């Protein structure tokens, strides 16, 4: 059975994820600019409490392409200011006829608690530093689409692991598909207690560049970097993918990034241009963005139709 | 009240007593303790099969009054205390306004006196407004009756200020109770720096934040002397610091809470905020190190850190939910079930950690039932076993991580100053069916 909510990648079995990928592939191949009807007559609330462009827009497009209606709950306009709790707000939305709620919020666990008392399907669009399940789904979909075999695949996840909800979702999902994950980042952003048993980690970026497979660069969360390093330049010198490091990079490596890229920090402009010029099929960043819409369509469709896998 | 307890097993290490005892209570004092007091013409309470201990002393509770009566009141906190076998408790000064002046201290004492259940000893603030900037008027607080000083809830980050506080407290012969947490390391952490905490993506409080501050306080203590008590020790690193100080001969005392003794960070899984407290729950090695330190007397006290909160506050998301759990109504059965019944400690040790040592640190009555002592005692039925039911707490706080735990050793009678305050779970002045007149036949029925 497809779960009632998608809050953590743990909510999804491998089987459920495979069904999402199949459905996403179907929507991608059939997308001819005419709306589908899976969400016809359904009202989907979008409630983003943290900034977001691609996730938000891609969910919005996903609902529209499926023929549903998007209700935009803007935090600054809702009843929170009147002292209404978020739980009450969600209950109210339910009573008003909402069929699902897609949220992004900085406080992990808040919507999980609400899901226990309110009968309204919830989909996470990213929760603090906790989980970002649909990002992981679209990433794996993109890998498969590029012909990458996950079983035995070397995946290096590099950068600000500590603050990354994307990394936390991948740490659960990728090993389930048989991929071998190595984490790399500065010690301050890669606490060893965060590394699940059986996974490798290293503080040396240069040491993992020859691995091949997938190099997944994380966004350095500049708004959070505070005291972790003194300047973006200091970070880039040790952990940025620049032209010098491209020489060390195995040329079979696929490069991925959840976006938005901090150019000049985790990835230099020069390196990106060289990659895009010399091996465009190895840079999956734009494909990830594009696939986000179809994967989210699949999640919405399966979540609301509740079909068996 | 004048009466005789007969047939119970008394453990009173200070008096060197461990075995069947008859205990004669006269007024608010213990008149006599003996194997047999012969024939007496007094009401007799038959305690065959029961255990009698000196009343428990909790040296670390938050009663929230004045200022946060929605979380707890002194009256409800005292009801929770006697329901849990505690006859005395020290309450922390982080109220609104804080107990950094004699008016608040005298208010707390007066409220406790009117409630008339447990003995309440306010702890005064180390610094004005608990801000860690300027010493409070410690002499003024001492003359109003505080039994120690603490800024509990937050550390005294300024080492120079802590030094002066320790010096002044030593001249008042009162303990400093230190909340050890280096905030520059802990930052805005809310969980332990372990796999569970990191997996939830929450900011962490490293064990080093505590251990570093403990080391500082012990080093200051070595130079200053006086009484230093380290609150709520949570990690094996901290225990290592205690061992180091003990080997150097630095005098100190330390406490551990039941939740740190019996839980790990995994209790907070799935953002369970009733397992959110500061210091946070740590890992199994820490739990073992704490239990061992308690056995070896590196840690001499079990204190509850009773911290009631309103359900709606705890039901917030984990990040913004307040720190703290209630403890007065679960501490004794937890210690009995998880330490005594596991043969990790003896009944005498139960008395030491929950009564005698805290009474001595605070220099208050209690800790023993030697003739002439205050008639503060607790009776336990060692056979009875039941689950923790937070719905039945006397405390206003329902924030316990022990809900549903099946435990032995709940108290069945609590006496304070010769007066029975709790009988078979009913608290005087709180339970409508608490008997108006306690006589022999009624006691026979109730026990």
Q: What is the pTM of this model?
A: 0.94
* pLDDT tens readout for residues B311-340: 989 988 899 999 999 999 999 999 999 999
What pLDDT does A308 receive?
Answer: 36
Say yes or no for a CB contact (<8 Å) between B201 and A131. yes
With a cut of 70, say whether residue B232 has pLDDT above it: yes
Domains assigned to chain A:
9-130+292-305 (3.40.50.1370), 147-283 (3.40.50.1370)
| Nearest one of B333, B206, B323, B178 to B258, comparing CA atoms | B333
Say yes or no for a CB contact (<8 Å) between B201 and A191. no
B325 to chain A, closest Cα gap in Å: 19
Tell me whether strands B2-12 and B44-46 are parallel, antiparallel or unpaired.
parallel
Smallest Cβ–Cβ distance between B201 and the set A110, A165, A193 belongs to A165
Smallest Cβ–Cβ distance between B320 and the set A107, A112, A196 belongs to A107
Smallest Cβ–Cβ distance between A191 and the set B198, B200, B316 belongs to B198
With a cut of 90, say whether residue B447 has pLDDT above it: no
Q: Collect all residues of chain A within an 8 Å Cβ-Cβ radius of residue B195.
A: 193-194, 196
Can you state the angle between helices A133-145 and A285-305, rounded to 10 degrees?
A: 120
Q: Which residue of B has its CA nearest to A117?
A: B315
Domains assigned to chain B:
2-52+374-446 (2.30.40.10), 54-362 (3.20.20.140)
Count Cα neighbours of B422 within 13 Å in the Cβ-side half-sphere: 27
Are the CB atoms for A180 and A209 separated by under 8 Å? no
**Lowest mean pLDDT segment, chosen from A113-117, B79-83, B407-411:** A113-117
Task: Choose between B40 and A63: higher pLDDT.
Answer: A63
Which residues does residue A105 pair with via DSSP β-bridges, in sequence order?
A: A127
Q: Collect all residues of chain A within an 8 Å Cβ-Cβ radius of residue B197.
A: 193
* pLDDT tens readout for residues B116-158: 999 999 999 999 999 999 999 999 999 999 999 999 999 999 9
Which residues does residue B34 pair with via DSSP β-bridges, in sequence order?
A: B22
B273 to chain A, closest Cα gap in Å: 10
User: Which residues of A lie inside 8 Å of B (Cβ-Cβ)?
Assistant: 106-110, 112-113, 127-131, 162-163, 165, 168, 191, 193-194, 196
Give the pLDDT mean for B377-393: 97
Backbone dihedral region for residue A198 (phi beyond 0: left; psi -120 to 50: alpha; all else: beta) = left
What was the ipTM of the complex prediction? 0.91
pLDDT-above-90 percentage for chain B: 94
* Cβ-proximal residues to A59 (8 Å cutoff; 6+ apart), any chain: A46, A102, A123, A125, A134, A296
What pLDDT does A34 receive?
Answer: 84
Cα dihedral angle (B25, B31, B37, B39), rounded to 10 degrees?
A: -60
Which residues does residue B426 pair with via DSSP β-bridges, in sequence order?
A: B423
Question: Can B305 be counted among the known catalytic residues?
Answer: yes
Q: Collect all residues of chain A within an 8 Å Cβ-Cβ radius of residue B202.
A: 108, 128-130
**Selected catalytic residue, list B100, B305, B376, B381:** B305
* Cβ-proximal residues to B390 (8 Å cutoff; 6+ apart), any chain: B326, B398, B400, B403
B191 to chain A, closest Cα gap in Å: 13
A111 to chain B, closest Cα gap in Å: 8
Smallest Cβ–Cβ distance between A109 and the set B195, B198, B317 belongs to B317
Say yes or no for a CB contact (<8 Å) between B319 and A128. yes
* Cβ-proximal residues to A285 (8 Å cutoff; 6+ apart), any chain: A255, A256, A257, A259, A261
Say yes or no for a CB contact (<8 Å) between B271 and A108. yes
Cα dihedral angle (B117, B123, B124, B127), rounded to 10 degrees?
A: -140
- Of A50, A105, A113, A122, which to mutate for an interface test with B (greatest number of B Cβ within 10 Å)? A113
A99 to chain B, closest Cα gap in Å: 23
Q: Collect all residues of chain B within an 8 Å Cβ-Cβ radius of residue A110.
A: 316-318
* pLDDT tens readout for residues B168-211: 999 999 999 999 999 999 999 999 999 999 999 999 999 999 99
Give the pLDDT mean for B342-370: 98
What pLDDT does B446 receive?
Answer: 73
Distance from the Cα of residue A244 to its chain's centroid: 29
Dihedrals phi, psi of B121, to nearest 5 degrees: -120, 105
Consecutive sets of 10 residues in chain A, 309 residues long: mean pLDDT of each? 87 96 96 90 94 93 96 70 75 94 93 91 96 98 98 97 96 97 96 93 96 95 75 92 96 95 95 95 96 97 73
Return mean pLDDT, chain B: 96
């Amino acid at each position: 059975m497809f779960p009632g909510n998608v809050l953590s990648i743990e909510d999804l079995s491998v089987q459920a994820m495979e069904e999402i990928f199949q459905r996403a592939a179907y929507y991608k191949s059939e997308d001819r600019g005419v709306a589908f009807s899976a969400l016809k007559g359904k009202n989907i609330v979008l409630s983003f409490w943290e900034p977001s462009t691609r996730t938000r827009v891609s969910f919005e497009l996903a609902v529209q392409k499926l023929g549903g209606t998007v209700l935009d709950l803007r935090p600054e306009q809702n009843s929170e200011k009147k002292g209404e709790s978020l739980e009450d707000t969600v209950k109210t939305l339910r009573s008003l006829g909402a069929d699902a709620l897609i949220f992004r919020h900085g406080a992990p666990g808040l919507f999980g608690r609400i899901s226990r008392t309110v009968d309204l399907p919830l989909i996470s669009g990213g929760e603090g530093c906790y989980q970002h399940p649909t990002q992981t789904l679209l990433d794996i979909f993109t890998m498969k689409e590029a012909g990458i075999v996950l079983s035995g695949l070397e995946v290096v996840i590099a950068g600000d692991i500590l603050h990354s909800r994307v990394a936390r979702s991948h740490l659960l999902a990728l090993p389930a598909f048989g991929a071998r994950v190595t984490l790399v980042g500065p010690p301050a952003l890669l606490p060893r207690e965060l590394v699940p048993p059986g996974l490798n980690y290293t503080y040396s970026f240069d040491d993992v560049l020859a691995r091949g497979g997938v190099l997944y660069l994380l966004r350095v969360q500049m708004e959070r970097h505070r005291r972790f390093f003194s300047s973006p330049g200091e970070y880039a010198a040790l952990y940025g993918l620049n032209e010098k490091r491209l020489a060390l990079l195995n040329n079979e490596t696929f490069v991925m990034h959840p976006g938005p890229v901090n150019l000049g920090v985790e990835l230099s402009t020069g390196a990106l241009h060289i990659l895009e010029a010399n091996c465009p099929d190895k840079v999956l960043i734009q494909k990830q963005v594009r696939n986000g819409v179809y994967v989210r369509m699949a999640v919405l469709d399966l979540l609301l139709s509740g079909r068996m896998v | 009240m004048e009466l005789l307890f007969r047939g119970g097993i008394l453990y009173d290490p200070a008096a060197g007593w461990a075995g069947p005892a008859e205990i004669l209570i006269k007024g608010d004092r213990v008149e006599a303790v003996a194997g047999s007091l012969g024939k007496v013409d007094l009401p007799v309470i038959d305690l065959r099969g029961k255990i009698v201990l000196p009343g428990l002393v909790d040296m670390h509770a938050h009663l929230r009054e004045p200022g946060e009566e929605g979380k707890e009141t002194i009256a409800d906190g005292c009801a929770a205390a006697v329901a849990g076998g505690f006859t005395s408790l020290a309450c922390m000064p982080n109220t609104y306004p804080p107990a950094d002046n004699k008016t608040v201290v005298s208010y707390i004492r007066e409220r406790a006196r009117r409630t008339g259940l447990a003995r309440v000893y306010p702890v005064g603030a180390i610094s004005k407004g608990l801000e860690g900037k300027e010493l409070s008027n410690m002499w003024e607080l001492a003359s109003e009756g505080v039994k120690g000083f603490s800024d509990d809830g937050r550390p005294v980050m300024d080492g120079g200020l802590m030094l002066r506080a320790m010096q002044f407290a030593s001249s008042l012969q009162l303990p400093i109770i230190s909340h050890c947490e280096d905030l520059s390391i802990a930052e805005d952490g809310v969980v332990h720096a372990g796999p569970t905490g990191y997996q939830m993506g929450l900011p962490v409080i490293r064990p080093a934040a505590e251990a570093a501050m403990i080391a500082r306080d012990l080093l200051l203590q070595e130079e200053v002397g006086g009484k230093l008590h380290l609150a709520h020790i949570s990690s094996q690193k901290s225990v290592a610091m205690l061992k180091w100080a003990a080997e150097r001969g630095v005098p100190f005392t330390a406490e551990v809470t039941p939740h740190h003794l019996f839980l790990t960070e995994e209790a907070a899984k799935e953002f369970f905020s009733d397992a959110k407290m500061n210091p946070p729950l740590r890992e199994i090695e820490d739990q073992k190190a704490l239990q061992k330190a308690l056995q070896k007397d590196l840690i001499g006290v079990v204190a509850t850190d009773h911290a009631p909160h309103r359900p709606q506050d705890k039901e917030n998301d984990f990040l913004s939910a307040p720190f703290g759990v209630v403890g007065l109504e679960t501490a004794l059965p937890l210690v009995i079930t998880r330490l005594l019944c596991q043969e990790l400690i003896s009944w005498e040790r139960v008395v030491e950690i929950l009564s005698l040592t805290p009474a001595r640190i605070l220099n208050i009555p209690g800790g023993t039932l030697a003739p002439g002592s205050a008639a503060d005692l607790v009776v336990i039925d060692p056979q009875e076993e039941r689950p923790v039911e937070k719905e039945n707490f006397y405390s206003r706080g329902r924030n316990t991580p022990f809900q549903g735990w099946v435990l032995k050793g709940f108290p069945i009678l609590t006496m304070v100053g010769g007066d029975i305050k709790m009988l078979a779970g009913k608290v005087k002045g709180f339970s409508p069916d608490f008997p108006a007149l306690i006589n022999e036949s009624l006691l026979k029925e109730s026990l």
